[in-house]
Amino acid sequence: MPMPIPLISPEALANRLTDPRLRLLDVRWWLTEPGRGRRDYLAGHLPGAVWVDLDADLTAPVGPGRHPLPHPAAFVQRMAELGVSDDSDVVAYDDAGGTIAGRIWWMLEDLGFEAVRVLDGGLTTWAALGLPVTMAVAEVAPGTLSLAPRPWRRVVDRAWLVAHLGRVAILDARAPERYRGDTEPVDAYAGHIPTAVSRPLAGNLGPDGRFLAAADLRARFDGLGDRVVTSCGSGVNACHNALAMRVAGLPDPLLYEGSYSDWTRSGLPVATGDEPGSMPV
């Protein structure tokens, strides 16, 4: 059975704004500016959209790395509080090419909720097309969401990754300069996980900010083997590569939940430069 299409165009979404099943989730967030996402939401958002706080709603208080996944039951409860029901058609968006919205898509999908998509091009493309934006804060009634609170399925932890180094393809979604170790603004050490290959998420998007065609995305990820793990700095942006692989029609990768932030906290070796490198014996 074909997997659900994970993207919706601004043009298609604009024709569905009055659909009562539609739930719009604004998940804008800035790494170096806490609180800016909420301020940006209040300054203008899609009609009917509610704001989702990455740090509070999509992240556990403690866990591996900077943005550990919350307990599935807590996440389901929070989505219901934001108006998501079993029959909802969810569209998540940000203003960063889907790099944050992809996290909601991944989380809902992993728990079996298939009616979730990411707005292709996000708010940036939406506004550029002259589509409606409002400052009115949406008031939504709590939904009824009966997803089974099963554990996250497509995830791996540090111990699993160490045991499988060299036998799985690890994708690093961070910018090339962070992969190489030229700079590291957040985590303990500059560089990348040994054996990881660089697949910066910016390469998933065209000049217009929308995802590349499926064939072009397939060319970015094909040939990696049957077992692929996607990672980034904290497990958020890694979902963008998972989203791109779904658009490409490739098998879903596993997610290293803690990603590079978890790896560097462990004291394990890191590699630098353009090459994947290997784990020291």
pLDDT tens string 177-211? 999 999 999 998 999 999 999 999 999 999 999 99
pTM of the model: 0.96
One of 50, 91, 232, 242 is an active-site residue; which one?
232
Q: Give me the pLDDT at residue 31, please.
A: 85
Q: Give me the pLDDT at residue 155, please.
A: 98
Q: How far apart are the C-alpha atoms of 120 and 97, rounded to whole Å?
A: 7
Q: How far apart are the C-alpha atoms of 26 and 50, rounded to whole Å?
A: 6
Helix or strand (DSSP H, E) at 122: helix 122-128
pLDDT in tens, 73-109: 999 999 999 999 999 999 999 999 999 999 999 999 9
Average pLDDT over residues 31-41: 91
Domains annotated on the chain, with CATH: 7-128 (3.40.250.10), 155-265 (3.40.250.10)
Report how far apart the first and last C-alpha atoms of the chain are (Å, whole number): 43
Question: Whose CA is closest to 9, among 98, 77, 78?
Answer: 98
Q: Give me the pLDDT at residue 2, please.
A: 59
Q: Give me the pLDDT at residue 32, please.
A: 83
234 band by pLDDT with thresholds 50, 70 and 90 = very high
Is 232 among the catalytic positions? Answer: yes
